[in-house]
Amino acid sequence: MQSRLDISVVVPLYNERESLPELMAWIDGVCRKNDLSYEVVMVDDGSSDGSWDTITELKADYPETLRAIRFMRNYGKSAALYCGFEAAEGEVVFTMDADLQDSPEEIPAMRSMIVDEGYDLVSGWKRKRFDPLSKRLPSRLFNWTARRVSGIGLHDFNCGLKCYRRTVVKSIEVYGEMHRYIPILAKYAGFDRIGEKEVCHHARKYGKSKFGVERMLKGYLDLITVTFMSRFGRSPMYFFGGLGTLMFLFGGCTTIWIIADKLYKQCHCLPLRAVTEQPLFYLAMLSIVLGVQLFLAGFIGELINRNSNDRNKYLIDKRL
């Protein structure tokens, strides 16, 4: 059954009371001008500044197009996007920050890339940013690393303005701080038609940024997690078992060589020292123990994975 809505705009927000009326009016104006049926799904991530009261007032002005979800406490942007994706009913789903730095004027062109050009996902690229240098430089380093690791040629993984084909957001699970890596999650799920569009970026008009320096550390840790899950999530034995086997072979071969060397020297009356006096022997023993542990970790991971209900979640593209 086809959705009646052309687009859904998911707006995660945290203490953005001042900007919400202007944002809603901006989105409404753009959609009306381009004759797009739409809905806005605002997800209040436990705001304490009265944002929910503002949303309630806006609902009276936009009764048919505004929907809202409120969390009991602050869970983070990924949780807000996950719930927003579940609620979205549009054929094309947009994500947009509530701070007015993302421009709704980009909606028609980005939607066209999905509908007319066949992309599964289109990410915005804030080529000219109105953020302080302390925020821009770490972002460039982070994006360079993400491109290298993922193989996806996006310039701005963390841009809040993105749009997706409906099936994409209904097929991926965003958790933790994984909102930065939705393109990687989408690619892993089979949606590899990923595009990019240069978008306008505006200076923050109200309030201040909710992200601090700690997000860089979290970003890299999450990148390691999502990379591992995308490559070895369904077959952990390939990683743990392979690494464990290599360490076990190294330790075993080294131990055999040490013992053989000692026997050779004993047979030929050559000077030697006890095996237990050689640091290489303890390194070999450590490699054997760690190798066995890694192999068992992979084996247990396979058992858990095989008994998980997630194993049946395979995405079917078409049926004949």
**How confident is the model over 237-257, as a mean pLDDT?**
90
Instruction: Give the pLDDT confidence of 65-83 residue by residue, as tens digits.
Output: 999 999 988 888 888 999 9
Looking at the predicted structure, is the pLDDT value of residue 194 above 80?
A: yes
**How confident is the model over 6-16, as a mean pLDDT?**
93
pLDDT level of residue 239 (50, 70, 90 thresholds): confident
Looking at the predicted structure, is the pLDDT value of residue 245 above 60?
A: yes
DSSP 183-223: HHHHHHHT---EEEEE--B----SS--S--THHHHHHHHHH
Q: Which ranges of the chain does DSSP label H, i.e. alpha helix?
A: 20-33, 51-61, 77-87, 107-115, 133-150, 166-169, 182-189, 214-232, 236, 242-267, 279-306
Tokens representing 174 are 């965003």
Looking at the predicted structure, is the pLDDT value of residue 1 above 50?
A: no
CA distance 148 to 154: 10
Report domain extents, the chain: 7-232, 236-312
CA distance 257 to 314: 48
pLDDT level of residue 207 (50, 70, 90 thresholds): low
Q: Is there a contact between 130 and 164 (Cβ–Cβ < 8 Å)?
A: no
Which range of 58-62, 183-187, 214-218, 279-283 scores highest in mean pLDDT? It is: 58-62
**How confident is the model over 51-61, as a mean pLDDT?**
93
Q: Which residue has the higher pLDDT, 140 or 95?
A: 95
Span 7-232 CATH architecture? Alpha-Beta Complex (3.90)
Looking at the predicted structure, is the pLDDT value of residue 40 above 90?
A: yes
Looking at the predicted structure, is the pLDDT value of residue 21 above 90?
A: yes
- Number of C-beta neighbours around residue 13 at 10 A: 26
**How confident is the model over 172-181, as a mean pLDDT?**
80
Instruction: Give the pLDDT confidence of 116-133 residue by residue, as tens digits.
Output: 999 999 999 888 776 666
At 309, is the secondary structure helix, strand, or coil? helix
Model pLDDT, residue 226: 76
Model pLDDT, residue 101: 87
Looking at the predicted structure, is the pLDDT value of residue 313 above 60?
A: no
pTM of the shown model: 0.75
Mean pLDDT for the chain? 84
Amino acid identity for residue 272 in this structure: L
Query: Residue 13 — φ and ψ, nearest 5°?
Result: -145, 150
Tokens representing 304 are 């858990």
pLDDT level of residue 224 (50, 70, 90 thresholds): confident
Instruction: Give the pLDDT confidence of 84-111 residue by residue, as tens digits.
Output: 999 999 999 999 999 888 899 999 999 9
Tokens 């240098």 correspond to what residue?
133
Tokens representing 17 are 């009371």
Q: Is there a contact between 57 and 84 (Cβ–Cβ < 8 Å)?
A: no
Pairing of strands 7-13, 92-95: parallel
Model pLDDT, residue 212: 56
Q: What is the CA radius of gyration of the chain?
A: 26
